Amino acid sequence: MSKIADTFQNISSLLLQDLINLIHFWDYKKDQKTSSPASKELIETGYVSFADFLTRKECEDLYDQIIAFSQKYKETTTLDNGTLIHFRGNKSEADPDKGMIDIYNVDRVVGLNLDYEKIEKIIKPTTTCDLYTTSVHAYINRGVEGTRVFHVDNFQPVVYKAFIYLTDVDDTSYGPYAFINKTHRFSLQVYYNLFRNLFLKKYRSPDMPIYKKNREIIGTGKKGTIIISNQNGIHRGYPQEKGKERVALVVTYMVISKLNYLHNTAKQTLHEALKKF
């Protein structure tokens, strides 16, 4: 698709999602009892994190299993059970995230005993729309210096990701997740980048190189820390320094309003993502 068509589709998608966001603006106020401080922070900021979602021992066991599994593969491979071991950025030197291993459907090969209910208790009260868990990934970053620039994952529907660190991410050299506060809805920064990228060859439509630096939240944390983030907001994984490692589990959720089905492209995405329900 041409960049103009892509931009047009993204802007129309974003306008519709912002309309849906407006309609659902006060959702989290409806049931004050279930709107915990974490849910409120998530809806207002687009980001929330806390330590000790997993114990250090749980993290170390999972880390060992995931690394041992990943070491069986040297190139991108899809298994019969649907697990995909994706060696990112191997198509060309210019591709971002070169060196990162993304294991999609990692829960089919590693025994995960996550407290999904605890995550959903934070996300659910932010909306009255339907919430679906779509996939569980493991991200293995070892000295990935060329991570993707700030970007948004999509324009609609709302997607949340829960990042659970299995290794200590003490400072920026370890490649923490980073998020720009309050860019997950009604954000002029997102509209501005979308429009500006149209004229700049080096950026893809959803890249967001212009953002307010003073609104940046850098998600450092010890192993066991969870970060829940609205992926319609501007975010990235920081570039790592050589020799630094970060392993994280990533659980993906979709929040869907009936209005999302009005948009043709979103409709196709939703049908694909929801096939298993």
Ligand X SMILES: O=C(O)CCC(=O)C(=O)O
Between 24 and 161, name the residue whose CB sits nearer to ligand X: 161
How far is the CA of 114 from the CAs of 15, 62, 208, 229, in angstroms? Answer: 35, 11, 32, 18
Count of residues near ligand X by CB under 6 A? 9
The contacts of residue 181 (CB under 8 Å, 6+ apart) are: 45, 46, 47, 215, 216, 217
Of the candidate residues 125, 221, 237, 239, the single one contacting ligand X (CB under 6 A): 237
Of the candidate residues 124, 236, 244, 263, the single one contacting ligand X (CB under 6 A): 236
Residue 96 interacting with ligand X (CB under 6 A): no
Between 125 and 236, name the residue whose CB sits nearer to ligand X: 236
- In the complex, minimum distance from the CB of residue 162 to ligand X, in angstroms, rounded to a whole number: 11
Question: How far apart are alpha carbons 160 and 168 in whole angstroms?
Answer: 22
- In the complex, minimum distance from the CB of residue 238 to ligand X, in angstroms, rounded to a whole number: 7
- In the complex, minimum distance from the CB of residue 20 to ligand X, in angstroms, rounded to a whole number: 21
Question: How far apart are alpha carbons 141 and 189 in whole angstroms?
Answer: 28
Between 161 and 223, name the residue whose CB sits nearer to ligand X: 161
Question: How far apart are alpha carbons 199 and 203 in whole angstroms?
Answer: 9
Name which of 114, 113, 120 is nearest 42 in CA terms: 120
Q: Please identify, among the stretches 34-42, 73-81, 196-204, 235-243, the one whose residues bind ligand X according to the rule CB under 6 A.
A: 235-243
Question: How far apart are alpha carbons 85 and 125 in whole angstroms?
Answer: 33
Q: Please identify, among the stretches 19-27, 40-48, 120-128, 231-239, the one whose residues bind ligand X according to the rule CB under 6 A.
A: 231-239
Between 86 and 125, name the residue whose CB sits nearer to ligand X: 86
Of the candidate residues 27, 41, 153, 241, the single one contacting ligand X (CB under 6 A): 153
The four Cα atoms 157, 230, 227, 139 give a dihedral, to 10 degrees, of: 50
Return the residue nearest ligand X (CB atom): 237
Name which of 102, 118, 99 is nearest 66 in CA terms: 102
Count of beta carbons in the 10 Å neighbourhood of residue 92: 7
- In the complex, minimum distance from the CB of residue 150 to ligand X, in angstroms, rounded to a whole number: 9
Q: Please identify, among the stretches 124-132, 229-237, 254-262, 265-273, the one whose residues bind ligand X according to the rule CB under 6 A.
A: 229-237
Distance in Å from the first CA to the final CA of the chain? 30
* Residues from 164 through 223 that contact ligand X (CB under 6 A): 177
Between 28 and 174, name the residue whose CB sits nearer to ligand X: 174
- In the complex, minimum distance from the CB of residue 221 to ligand X, in angstroms, rounded to a whole number: 12
- In the complex, minimum distance from the CB of residue 29 to ligand X, in angstroms, rounded to a whole number: 29
The contacts of residue 177 (CB under 8 Å, 6+ apart) are: 163, 219, 227, 229, 235, 236, 237, 238, 248
Binding site for ligand X (CB under 6 A): 139, 148, 153, 161, 177, 231, 235-237
